[in-house]
Amino acid sequence: MKNRTRIKICGLTREADVLAAVEAGADAIGFVFYAKSARYVSPARAAELAQLLPPFVTPVGLFVNASAAELEAGLRALPNMLLQFHGDETPQDCARPGRPYMRAARMEPGFDLVDYAQQHSAAQAILLDAHVEGYGGGGKVFDWSLIPKNLGSPLVLSGGLHAGNVLAGITQLRPWAVDVSSGVEAQGRGLKCAKLMREFCEAVAQADALAASSPEI
């Protein structure tokens, strides 16, 4: 049995939501540095929010086709963050900052995830999201059968996850981590719900307990 499934809650914009996410059990908190997103925060605002994070909860910065200046501004504000590239970045673009990163893959029929993961072999993990118009998964679940077995890279499952389906995702796919955003929002994009975050983290823990007791699942 692998270690427990890690939890990233993404797109936080408010102090109360950061504190509630940590209390719920999040391992990582995502800040969106893509200006066209409704969940966008500036580097300065992200730095304010990250001050609330206790030790061992990782800040993650989500970038979409960012310029070198935008990446530099983000890293100055949050020098200890993990980078997450969600646009059309090449492996060379991702490696250029010289920092640990995750690479998002936009899943759809015909997409060669094996080749993609090999191209991005330097990534700490491959984050799997739905392919929708624009960037990000749009709260949509993709067809999990598109994921090949034994990919060789740590996988972060994303795309339309919520407390009602994350147990199935974990027991079926055994990802290294799960990533949730819209699935823990009740009032609008960027406005998280403490109850939904708690229920999501509880469902992840339930999935891990089920997998531990039934390793053949």
Q: Cα-flanking dihedrals φ and ψ of residue 87, to 5°?
A: -110, -135
pLDDT given for residue 133 in this prediction: 64
Per DSSP, 94 falls in state H
pLDDT surpassing 50 at residue 189: yes
pLDDT, tens digit (0-9, with 9 covering 90-100), for 36-82: 999 999 999 999 999 999 999 999 999 999 999 999 999 999 999 99
Among all residues, which ones are annotated catalytic?
10, 129
pLDDT given for residue 85 in this prediction: 97
| Mean pLDDT score across all residues of the chain | 93
Tokens of 186: 């009740």
> In 10 A of CB 188, how many CB atoms?
9
Write down the pTM of the prediction: 0.93
pLDDT, tens digit (0-9, with 9 covering 90-100), for 3-20: 799 999 999 999 999 999
Q: Which residue has the higher pLDDT, 162 or 133?
A: 162
pLDDT given for residue 135 in this prediction: 65
DSSP 164-210: TTHHHHHHHH--SEEEESGGGBSSSTT-B-HHHHHHHHHHHHHHHHH
Tokens of 128: 């799997």
pLDDT band at 136 (very low <50, low <70, confident <90, very high): low
- Per cent of the chain over pLDDT 70 is 94
pLDDT given for residue 64 in this prediction: 96
